Amino acid sequence: MISKTILKEILLEQRKNLEKSKKEAFVIREKLSQIRKFVRIKQIIVITGIRRCGKSVFLSQIIGKFFEKYYYVNFEDERLSDFTFKDFNLLYEVCIELFGKSRIFFLDEIQNVEGWERWVRRMYDNNFKFFITGSNARLLSKELATLLTGRHLQFSIYPFSFKESLDFYGIGVKENDIYLTEKRAIILKCFSGYLNKGGFPEFLKYKRIEILQEYFNSIIERDIVARYNIGNFKQIKELARFLITNTANLTTYSKLRRITEIKSVNTVIKYLFYLENSYLVFRVPFFSFSLKKQMANPFKVYVIDSGLRNAIGFTFSKDMGRIYETVTAIELKRRGEEVYYWKDSFRHEVDFVIRKGRKVKEIIQSCFSLENIETESREIRSLIKASKELNCNNLTVLTENYESEERVKWFGIKRRIKFIPLWKWILFRENL
């Protein structure tokens, strides 16, 4: 059992650091406006995301915007490594002694405490409000599915979006700014940097590649190997590096088994599940209303941040086509879209099919360059074929700098296609 004196020392120090981060957090996360309507209702707010993407700072922004009296505990603190379920009542007692009475708890990286959900459920039933963060999707599965079903709302935080990275550099952007030559040039330069560096806040601040490499090692060692008691550290790290290097490529479990020399497909499936749970990568399946067909086809895997790909991959090759596609996939995931890819037996393939309910609402191709006639024809031909097969006329091609809206005819089918620069689509998609 943790001592009361040590607990007081930790909580006071953490409160001081939190107040400091509130003053330094000048990049207001886009998710803050979405969460506003939920801060006063009873439901537990669960915030998840990859390690070091800014969840703690986001909590400080919620506190600074909406609360004066609260309790904050960060369970990532190594001094709380011996904290157990039985210590929660002592924690509450210490919080009252130090900060007075409150019914608002902010619990950071709570998944480090086994059985936490039982205490939270009891306090919730006594009208306490909780904001909880975690770096592992396991937080949203076993624990929340048992005692907290229907009592929580989930929000995901990612590394900075392009707009947030512009805010980081003090560059405010309005839609009319894109018509100003100087401002447009600044935006394009920043977007080139964003494709290369990604959006992890600390990396953007210090610009040392070792930071991203340490994030990767920490995720593998602490969020996966230690948590799931994996004996073969080398195999899962090799699998992770391969997937990050080959972001946006089609693959199968059997192919991954052969490449990494993992002994069984079941182990590959398990390892990939762990990597996804840590938010390091995410899968995009083949589009079909039939789950059986989805599972029978290859899937794509994307890294959660383009900067990680450039820091961790086996090669530093820029391969802008795959980086463009990866940034598009990340943005779609950030917006909560239900995303798939599509292909047919004639090698027609589209990067993204956006599904809403029983309908396809948009089909997107991400194409860094359309200067090559053969490339352009292949991309457009596939887009139109998918439009016919999936009964969707909302067609978009994301480009480096080409912008237009054109009526195109292929296979005897006419379709209107929007060509939009990727940076503009990210910044102003709602208005396009």
Give the tens place of pLDDT for each residue, 121-159: 999 999 999 999 988 876 656 567 677 888 889 899 999
What does the pLDDT read at residue 413?
A: 87
What does the pLDDT read at residue 127?
A: 96
Radius of gyration over every alpha carbon of the chain, rounded to an integer in angstroms: 23
Q: Identify whether the C-beta of residue 281 lies closer than 8 Å to the C-beta of residue 170.
A: no
How far apart, in whole angstroms, are the C-alpha atoms of residue 386 and residue 378?
12
List of E strands, 49-191: 71-74, 104-108, 129-134, 152-156
What does the pLDDT read at residue 300?
A: 98
H or E stretch at 62: helix 55-66
Q: Fill in the DSSP letter of residue 54.
A: S
| pLDDT of residue 388 exceeding 60 | yes
* Average confidence (pLDDT) over 196-215: 96
The model's confidence at residue 373, banded by pLDDT at 50, 70 and 90, is low
The string of pLDDT tens digits covering residues 284-318 is 999 998 999 999 999 999 999 999 999 998 765 56
The model's confidence at residue 58, banded by pLDDT at 50, 70 and 90, is very high
How far apart, in whole angstroms, are the C-alpha atoms of residue 420 and residue 427?
11
| pLDDT of residue 399 exceeding 70 | yes
Q: Copy the structure tokens of residue 410.
A: 């292929």
- Ramachandran region, residue 84 (left: φ > 0; alpha: ψ -120 to 50; beta: rest): beta
How far apart, in whole angstroms, are the C-alpha atoms of residue 358 and residue 211?
43
What does the pLDDT read at residue 175?
A: 84
Domains of the chain: 4-156 (3.40.50.300), 162-197 (no CATH), 201-431 (no CATH)
Q: Copy the structure tokens of residue 110.
A: 């709570």
What does the pLDDT read at residue 143?
A: 60
How many CB atoms are located within 10 Å of the residue 71 CB? Answer: 21
How far apart, in whole angstroms, are the C-alpha atoms of residue 184 and residue 201?
23
Select from 395, 375, 376, 372 the least CA-distant residue to 385.
Answer: 395
The model's confidence at residue 3, banded by pLDDT at 50, 70 and 90, is very high
How many CB atoms are located within 10 Å of the residue 263 CB? Answer: 11
What does the pLDDT read at residue 396?
A: 97
How many CB atoms are located within 10 Å of the residue 304 CB? Answer: 27
What does the pLDDT read at residue 378?
A: 85
Q: What is the DSSP track for 122-158?
A: HHHHTT-EEEEEESSGGGGTHHHHHT-TTSEEEEE--
The model's confidence at residue 20, banded by pLDDT at 50, 70 and 90, is confident
| pLDDT of residue 26 exceeding 70 | yes
How far apart, in whole angstroms, are the C-alpha atoms of residue 197 and residue 203?
8
| Cross-strand partners of 155 | 47
What does the pLDDT read at residue 109?
A: 92
Q: Identify whether the C-beta of residue 111 lies closer than 8 Å to the C-beta of residue 139.
A: yes
What does the pLDDT read at residue 150?
A: 81
What does the pLDDT read at residue 361?
A: 97
Q: What is the DSSP track for 26-38?
A: -S--THHHHHGGG
pTM, rounded to two decimals: 0.94
* Average confidence (pLDDT) over 46-75: 95
What does the pLDDT read at residue 370?
A: 75
H-state helical runs in 198-350: 201-206, 209-218, 226-228, 233-245, 253-260, 265-277, 291-296, 306-312, 320-334
| pLDDT of residue 343 exceeding 60 | yes
Select from 394, 397, 392 the least CA-distant residue to 380.
Answer: 397
* Average confidence (pLDDT) over 235-258: 96
Report in angstroms the alpha-carbon separations of 339 from 81, 139, 331: 38, 23, 11
What does the pLDDT read at residue 387?
A: 96
DSSP strand pairing (395-399 vs 413-421) = parallel
Select from 124, 118, 126 the least CA-distant residue to 153.
Answer: 124
Determine the angle formed by the axes of helices 55-66 and 4-24, rounding to 10 degrees: 80
CA 285 to chain centre: 17
Select from 156, 155, 88, 81 the least CA-distant residue to 119.
Answer: 88
| pLDDT of residue 270 exceeding 90 | yes
> What is the rounded (10 degree) CA torsion for 172, 174, 178, 183?
-30
Question: In this predicted model, which residue has the larger pLDDT, 344 or 144?
Answer: 344
Q: Copy the structure tokens of residue 220.
A: 């593998």
Mean per-residue pLDDT of the chain: 92
What whole-number percentage of the chain has pLDDT above 90? 77
Q: Identify whether the C-beta of residue 138 lies closer than 8 Å to the C-beta of residue 276.
A: no
How far apart, in whole angstroms, are the C-alpha atoms of residue 7 and residue 84?
13
What does the pLDDT read at residue 137?
A: 74
What does the pLDDT read at residue 22?
A: 76
| pLDDT of residue 405 exceeding 90 | yes
The model's confidence at residue 163, banded by pLDDT at 50, 70 and 90, is very high
Select from 276, 430, 288 the least CA-distant residue to 355.
Answer: 288
What does the pLDDT read at residue 140?
A: 58
What does the pLDDT read at residue 335?
A: 94
Report in angstroms the alpha-carbon separations of 294 from 205, 285, 297, 303, 352: 41, 6, 6, 21, 14
- Residue partners of 356: CB distance under 8 A and separation at least 6: 338
* Average confidence (pLDDT) over 39-47: 93
| pLDDT of residue 181 exceeding 70 | yes
What does the pLDDT read at residue 141?
A: 61
What does the pLDDT read at residue 139?
A: 61
| Cross-strand partners of 104 | 129
* Average confidence (pLDDT) over 318-334: 93
